[in-house]
Amino acid sequence: MNICIIGTGFVGVVSASVYASFGNTVIGLDIDPQKIEKLKHGQVPFFEPGLSDLLLEQQKSGNLHFTTDYSLAVSQAEVVFVAVGTPSTSTGEADLKYVFATADSIAPFLQENAIVVIKSTVPPGTLTQYAERVKTKTQAQFFMASVPEFLREGSAVADTLHPDRVLIGTTEPEVAEKLTLLHQPLQTQIIHTSPESAQMAKYSANAYLATRITFINQIADLCEKNGADIEEVIQAIGQDKRIGSQYWYPGLGYGGSCFPKDVKELAAYANSIGETNNVLIKINEVNEQRIEKILNQYEQKIGGWLNKKVAVLGLSFKPETNDMREAPSIKIIPYLLSKGAQVLGFDPKAEWPVNGDISFFTATPPVTTVSPDSSFTQVNTINDAVRDVDVIMCVIEWPEITSFDFSQSKSAKTQWFVDTRNQFSPKEVTAWGYNYLGIGR
């Protein structure tokens, strides 16, 4: 098939590369000429394992192209995917301006019977509004569908090639048939729903996973008070087939580009239709307060952060990505600096902004702004970060961090080892000579 994918961010580039690998002719479209030129040379603006190689391979094969020209990309496309960003507004709703901007741009160039697929995360009802805007600028017949993505950063290529399911939301049998054919190479279950159900399924999946993280954090707080160990609790409840052992992540709360945004947007959507007593509103509040609450608890145990030298290991929001959106570090580091600590940061891929402006990475204002002359330094190695510090804080479970031999870096003075993801054995860390602090242990 001839396919156009609008938006060359995380979802758009991965999807374009994978669809091209099936033998389709795919054009990635973006209004940013610099980004397009970099993509033509296999330069991805973010770190994602395996993506750069796949990108170059499919461009060499002739299946994948990139352009800024709407006329060229859309006029040839049987299927047009919209994969642009839908950030949250200040009140939590999905900001659809980028989505609707594509409606105005594609309308004059749509071929007859083209299928327009919204891959962006949008609330139910968006397809109807989108179609109405397109109809004002074209006489061509076209069809709408929703095919939400379920990718995880750090494993996006693998997730796209080996998904648990593909969700196709449309009311048109011919559209369902064509999109099913497009996704057949994935050899996975294909579920057909209405567009509204597909959109709610995307929000629901992310909100439920965020709920599990929030729930287990609440249980971990109880464990802190009663002597139970959250890891033993997880092992016990995970054997219940109704519950399962996956996605129990006690720690500093959920972050990243999807969970915080999608929970807020689903809560705002519930409010907009009169469902004001919604559990997601509380989940969002608890998650936003989580880091400051935990850091306050640690402060009491270590005797205050003032004049403490702290190593923060892991700046991205999860391993195998350099994405810092809603990462724990963007709340932890300003908090520690505001308390008078000196902070050294390390991450294998993510880079702290040189000017200290972290507003892009978080929808929740931090405790303080990190200025260029602050007491924060990003270093290139774990050794440089942990040398003679008072506190080692392991924030993200990068393999480089979890496999590091901290026994060799222990100094003679009292040092605290803060394990915010419960990746280390308390007994082992204590045997190395550190005072151990975990989550719910």
CATH number at residue 407: 3.40.50.720
Choose the final residue of a domain: 152, 178, 193. Answer: 193
Asked if residue 231 belongs to a domain, the reply is: no
Of 300, 279, 265, nearest to 123 by C-alpha is 265
Choose the final residue of a domain: 193, 216, 231. Answer: 193
Asked if residue 165 belongs to a domain, the reply is: yes
State the Cα–Cα distance between residues 304 and 300, nearest whole angstrom.
Answer: 6
User: How much is the pLDDT for 370?
Assistant: 52
Q: Are residues 34 and 172 in the same domain?
A: yes
Asked if residue 234 belongs to a domain, the reply is: no
| Residue 373 pLDDT greater than 70, yes or no | no
Choose the final residue of a domain: 168, 193, 218. Answer: 193
Asked if residue 252 belongs to a domain, the reply is: no
Asked if residue 72 belongs to a domain, the reply is: yes
Q: Are residues 167 and 312 in the same domain?
A: no
Q: For residue range 159-215, what is the model confidence (pLDDT) as tens digits?
A: 999 999 999 999 999 999 999 999 999 999 999 999 999 999 999 999 999 999 999
Q: Are residues 306 and 173 in the same domain?
A: no
DSSP state of 186: G
**Residues noted as catalytic:** 258
Q: Are residues 42 and 170 in the same domain?
A: yes
Q: Are residues 177 and 294 in the same domain?
A: no
Percent of the chain with pLDDT over 70: 97
Q: Do 435 and 414 form a contact (C-beta atoms < 8 A)?
A: yes
Asked if residue 223 belongs to a domain, the reply is: no
Q: For residue 166, what is the enclosing H or E element?
A: strand 165-169
User: How much is the pLDDT for 346?
Assistant: 97
**Range(s) of the domain holding residue 47:** 2-193
Question: Assign residue 286 a region: left if phi > 0, alpha if psi is -120 to 50, beta otherwise?
Answer: alpha
Asked if residue 262 belongs to a domain, the reply is: no
Asked if residue 333 belongs to a domain, the reply is: yes
Secondary structure tally for the chain: helices H, strands E: 16, 14
The residue type found at 221 is D
> How many Cβ atoms sit within 10 Å of the Cβ of residue 354?
8
State the Cα–Cα distance between residues 275 and 268, nearest whole angstrom.
Answer: 9
β-strand 64-67 against 25-29: which pairing, if any?
Answer: parallel
Task: Between 354 and 122, name the one with better pLDDT.
Answer: 122
Q: Report the DSSP beta bridge partners of residue 435.
A: 416
Q: How large is the average pLDDT for residues 401-413?
A: 96
DSSP state of 168: E
User: How much is the pLDDT for 227?
Assistant: 92
Whether the model clears a pTM of 0.85, i.e. scores above it, the answer is yes
Q: Are residues 189 and 334 in the same domain?
A: no
The total number of structural domains in the chain stands at 2
